[in-house]
Amino acid sequence: MRRMKTAAILSQAPIGEDVEVRGWVRTRRDSKQGFAFVEFNDGSTLANLQILVETSLPGYADWIHHLTTGASIGVCGVVQASPAKGQSVELLASALTLYGTAPAEKYPLQKKQHSFEFLREIAHLRPRTNTFGAIARVRNALSAAIHNFFQSRGFLYVHTPIITTSDCEGAGQMFRVTTLDLARLAQLKGEIDWGEDFFAKPASLTVSGQLEAETFACALGECYTFGPTFRAENSNTTRHLAEFWMVEPEMPFYDLADNMDLAETFIRTILRDVLERCPADMEFFNQRIDKTVLETLRNITDNEFVRLSYTEAVGLLENSGRKFEYPVRWGLDLQSEHERYLTEEQFRRPVILYDYPRAIKPFYMRCNDDGKTVRAMDVLVPRVGEIIGGSQREERLDVLVARMTECGLNPDDYWWYVDLRRYGTVPHAGFGLGLERTLLLLTGMINIRDVIAYPRTPKHAEF
Ligand code: 4AD
Ligand code: MG
Tell me which ligand sits closest to the C-alpha of residue 251. 1
In short, whether 248's Cβ falls inside 6 Å of ligand 1 is yes
Is the domain of 182 the same as that of 82?
no
Judge whether 31 lies within some domain. Answer: yes
Is the domain of 375 the same as that of 243?
yes
CA of 391 to the centre of ligand 1 (A): 12
Is the domain of 92 the same as that of 233?
no
Taken in order 129, 133, 134, 139, the sign of the CA dihedral is positive
What rounded mean pLDDT belongs to the chain? 96
Judge whether 132 lies within some domain. Answer: yes
pLDDT digits (tens, 9 = 90+) for 407-450: 999 999 999 999 999 999 999 999 999 999 999 999 999 999 99
Is the domain of 90 the same as that of 134?
no
With 90 as the cut, is the pLDDT of residue 171 above it? no
pLDDT digits (tens, 9 = 90+) for 185-221: 888 888 889 999 999 999 999 999 999 999 999 999 9
pLDDT of residue 186: 87
In short, whether 338's Cβ falls inside 6 Å of ligand 1 is no
pLDDT of residue 191: 86
Tell me which ligand sits closest to the C-alpha of residue 214. 1
Are the CB atoms for 417 and 411 separated by under 8 Å? no
User: Dihedrals φ, ψ of 200, to 5°?
Assistant: 60, 15
Are the CB atoms for 392 and 429 separated by under 8 Å? yes
Is the domain of 34 the same as that of 152?
no
Are the CB atoms for 25 and 68 separated by under 8 Å? yes
Exposure string for 381-415, b = 16+ CB within 10 A, e = fewer: bbebbbbbbbbbbbbebeebbebbeeeebebeebe
Q: From 100, 115, 140, give the residue that closes a domain.
A: 100
Tell me which ligand sits closest to the C-alpha of residue 356. 2
pLDDT of residue 166: 87
Q: From 65, 100, 135, give the residue that closes a domain.
A: 100
**Closest residue to atom 3 of ligand 1, CA basis:** 389
Is the domain of 152 the same as that of 41?
no
pLDDT digits (tens, 9 = 90+) for 424-434: 999 999 999 99
Q: From 51, 83, 100, give the residue that closes a domain.
A: 100
Is the domain of 275 the same as that of 315?
yes
pLDDT digits (tens, 9 = 90+) for 102-137: 999 999 998 778 999 999 999 999 999 999 999 999
Is the domain of 249 the same as that of 391?
yes
Is the domain of 384 the same as that of 261?
yes
Taken in order 48, 53, 59, 60, the sign of the CA dihedral is positive
Long-range contacts of 4-10 (CB under 8 A, 24+ apart): 5/42, 5/44, 5/45, 6/40, 6/41, 6/42, 6/44, 6/45, 6/47, 6/48, 6/49, 7/44, 7/45, 8/44, 9/49, 9/79, 9/89, 9/91, 10/45, 10/47, 10/49, 10/87, 10/88, 10/89
**pTM attached to this predicted model:** 0.97
In the chain, the amino acid numbered 50 is Q
In short, whether 434's Cβ falls inside 6 Å of ligand 1 is yes
The CATH number of the domain where 26 resides is what? 2.40.50.140
Residue 177 to residue 427: CA distance in whole angstroms: 33
Judge whether 266 lies within some domain. Answer: yes
Residue 136 to residue 127: CA distance in whole angstroms: 7
pLDDT band at 155 (very low <50, low <70, confident <90, very high): very high
The CATH number of the domain where 243 resides is what? 3.30.930.10
In short, whether 432's Cβ falls inside 6 Å of ligand 1 is yes
Judge whether 426 lies within some domain. Answer: yes
Which atom of ligand 1 lies at the shortest distance from residue 231's CA? Answer: 28
Judge whether 106 lies within some domain. Answer: no
In short, whether 431's Cβ falls inside 6 Å of ligand 1 is yes
Judge whether 203 lies within some domain. Answer: yes
Is the domain of 376 the same as that of 441?
yes
Name the domain count of the chain: 2
Residue 431 to residue 192: CA distance in whole angstroms: 36
pLDDT digits (tens, 9 = 90+) for 350-401: 999 999 999 999 999 999 999 999 999 999 999 999 999 999 999 999 999 9
* Mean pLDDT across 56-60: 92
Is the domain of 328 the same as that of 263?
yes
**Range of the structural domain that residue 11 is part of:** 2-100
In short, whether 247's Cβ falls inside 6 Å of ligand 1 is no
Judge whether 455 lies within some domain. Answer: no
pLDDT of residue 129: 96
Judge whether 318 lies within some domain. Answer: yes
Is the domain of 133 the same as that of 83?
no
